[in-house]
Amino acid sequence: MSIDIRSERLIGLDEAAQMIPGRDGGTVHPFTVGLWTRRGKRGVILESVLAGPRRCTSIEALARFLEAVTRAANGEQKPQAIASRSRRQAAKAVRQAALELAAPGA
């Protein structure tokens, strides 16, 4: 599901970070919330939109994310594979594909 900007309340990632309890009574760092929008946590990615110059999420998306991460942590939901590979792995895959295309009969 994606963020519906017409019905969901957009908040900045820094505001979202203030809503999530961290260790030792503090809150999580805004950078952590940014990582969740790019890399995810336990196979779940926090939905976000680019609103002008800022990356934003919504309170509803944050709730969906936290619920899905909790289900994954409890083993109730299989983590989804997040496609990520290093630049080195990507470059190797490109070289391999180019070799296969250049091969006779390809």
- Indicate the SS3 state at residue 55: strand
Query: Quick one: pLDDT band at residue 82, thresholds 50, 70, 90?
Result: low
Residue pLDDT, tens place only, 22-76: 888 899 999 999 999 999 998 899 999 998 899 999 999 999 999 999 998 898 8
Residue pLDDT, tens place only, 4-23: 888 999 999 999 999 999 88
Q: How far apart are CA 24 and CA 5, in angstroms?
A: 34
